[in-house]
Structure 1
Amino acid sequence: MDRAALRVLAVAASAALSLAAVRLSSADSRSALEGAAALGDWRSDAPGVGRRISPTDLPAPYAGELAASRSQVVGRPEGASLKAPDGFSVELFASGLNGPRVIRVAPNGDVFVTESHGGQVRVLPARRSGEAPQSEVFVSGLERPYGLAFYPPGPDPRWLYVSTSSQVRRYPYQAGQLKAGGEGEIVINDLPADAGHWTRDLLFSRDGKTLYVAVGSKSNVAEGHVRPSPEEVAVLEKADGLGAGFGPEHHRADVLAFDPDGGHRRVFATGLRNCAGLGLRPGTEELWCVVNERDMLGDNLPPDYATRVKPGGFYGWPWYYIGAHEDPRHAGERPDLADKVITPDILIQAHSAPLGLTFYEGAQFPAGFNGDAFVTLHGSWNRSKRTGYKVVRLRFKEGAPTGEYEDFLTGFVLAEDDSKVWGRPVDSAVAPDGSLLVTEDGNGAIWRVSYGQK
Structure 2
Amino acid sequence: MFFNKIIVSGLLLFSAGPAFSQPGRHQDVIEQLQLPAGFHISIFADNVPNARSLALGDNGTVFVGTMRQGAVYAVQDTNGDGVADKRHVIARDLYMPNGVAYKDGALYVAEVNRIIRFDDINKRLNNPPKPVTVYDKLPSDQHHGWKYLRFGPDNKLYTAVGAPCNICNPEKEIYASLVRLNPDGSDFEIIGRGIRNTVGFDWEPVSKTLYFSENGRDYMGDDRPPDEINQWSVKGEHFGYPYCHGGDIPDPEFAGDRKCREFTAPVWKIKAHMAALGMRFYQGDLFPADFKNQLFVAQHGSWNRSKPHGYRVVLIKFREGKPVSEAPFVSGWLTKEDKVLGRPVDVLEMPDGSVLISDDELGVIYRVNYKK
Same fold (TM > 0.5): yes
Decide whether aligned partners of structure 1 residues 124 and 8 sit closer, same or farther in structure 2, where only a CA change above 3 A counts: farther
Match of 1:65 in 2: none
Paired AA for residue 59 in structure 2: N
Deviates more, 1:317-326 or 1:420-429: 317-326
Deviates more, 1:377-386 or 1:363-372: 377-386
Match of 1:397 in 2: 319
Superposition deviation, residue 199 in structure 1: 1.9
Residue 292 in structure 1 maps to residue 222 in structure 2: no
Measure the CA separation in 2 of the matches of 1:306 and 1:7.
41
Paired AA for residue 255 in structure 1: L
Q: 1:115 aligns with which of 34, 58, 66?
A: 66
Q: Is the 8 A contact 1:8 1:135 kept in 2?
A: no
Superposition deviation, residue 321 in structure 1: 1.2
Paired AA for residue 308 in structure 2: R
Measure the CA separation in 1 of the matches of 2:2 and 2:57.
23
- 1:331-387 per-residue CA deviation (whole Å, 9 max, x = no partner) reads 42x42x542211111111110001101111112100111100111011002321212
Measure the CA separation in 1 of the matches of 2:360 and 2:84.
22
Paired AA for residue 142 in structure 1: L
Match of 1:424 in 2: 343
Q: Is the 8 A contact 1:281 1:371 kept in 2?
A: yes
Match of 1:60 in 2: none
Match of 1:220 in 2: 166
Paired AA for residue 11 in structure 1: Q
Q: Is the 8 A contact 1:96 1:443 kept in 2?
A: no
Measure the CA separation in 2 of the matches of 1:180 and 1:342.
46
- 1:204-254 per-residue CA deviation (whole Å, 9 max, x = no partner) reads 22231x2211111111110xx6xxxxxxxxxxxxxxxxxxxx42x531111
Q: Is the 8 A contact 1:8 1:133 kept in 2?
A: no
TM-score by length of structure 2 reads: 0.90
Match of 1:99 in 2: 50
Deviates more, 1:187-196 or 1:121-130: 121-130
SS at match of 1:162: strand
Decide whether aligned partners of structure 1 residues 213 and 391 sit closer, same or farther in structure 2, where only a CA change above 3 A counts: same
Deviates more, 1:425-434 or 1:108-117: 108-117
Superposition deviation, residue 123 in structure 1: 0.8
Match of 1:173 in 2: 120
Measure the CA separation in 2 of the matches of 1:296 and 1:345.
23
Measure the CA separation in 2 of the matches of 1:449 and 1:8.
24
Residues 43-442 of structure 1 mapped to structure 2, 5 A cutoff: 80-130=31-81, 133-151=85-103, 157-173=104-120, 175-179=122-126, 181-208=128-155, 210-222=156-168, 246-247=170-171, 250-311=173-234, 312-332=236-256, 334-335=257-258, 338-398=260-320, 400-415=321-336, 417-418=337-338, 420-442=339-361
Measure the CA separation in 1 of the matches of 2:319 and 2:19.
39
Measure the CA separation in 2 of the matches of 1:180 and 1:7.
20
Superposition deviation, residue 139 in structure 1: 2.1
Superposition deviation, residue 125 in structure 1: 1.7
Paired AA for residue 186 in structure 2: G
Measure the CA separation in 2 of the matches of 1:407 and 1:86.
13
Superposition deviation, residue 295 in structure 1: 1.0
Q: 1:11 aligns with which of 22, 25, 28?
A: 22
Superposition deviation, residue 8 in structure 1: 6.6
Decide whether aligned partners of structure 1 residues 177 and 358 sit closer, same or farther in structure 2, where only a CA change above 3 A counts: farther
The RMSD of aligned alpha carbons is 2.3
Measure the CA separation in 1 of the matches of 2:84 and 2:335.
31
Superposition deviation, residue 167 in structure 1: 0.8
Deviates more, 1:283-292 or 1:131-140: 131-140
Structure 1, unaligned runs of 5 or more: 20-75, 152-156, 226-245
Q: Is the 8 A contact 2:77 2:84 kept in 1?
A: no
Measure the CA separation in 2 of the matches of 1:8 and 1:385.
38
Superposition deviation, residue 306 in structure 1: 1.2
Q: Is the 8 A contact 1:98 1:117 kept in 2?
A: no
SS at match of 2:22: helix
- 1:157-176 per-residue CA deviation (whole Å, 9 max, x = no partner) reads 13211001111001102545
The structure where helix makes up a greater share of residues is 1
Paired residues in the alignment total 359
Match of 2:11 in 1: none
Decide whether aligned partners of structure 1 residues 193 and 6 sit closer, same or farther in structure 2, where only a CA change above 3 A counts: same
Paired AA for residue 363 in structure 1: D
Superposition deviation, residue 114 in structure 1: 1.2
Q: Is the 8 A contact 1:111 1:126 kept in 2?
A: no
Report 1 or 2 for greater relative contact order, CA contacts < 8 Å, sequence distance ≥ 6.
1
TM-score by length of structure 1 reads: 0.74
SS at match of 1:100: coil
Superposition deviation, residue 93 in structure 1: 1.3
Measure the CA separation in 2 of the matches of 1:132 and 1:203.
23
Superposition deviation, residue 179 in structure 1: 4.1
Measure the CA separation in 2 of the matches of 1:425 and 1:292.
15
Superposition deviation, residue 202 in structure 1: 1.1
Decide whether aligned partners of structure 1 residues 302 and 180 sit closer, same or farther in structure 2, where only a CA change above 3 A counts: farther
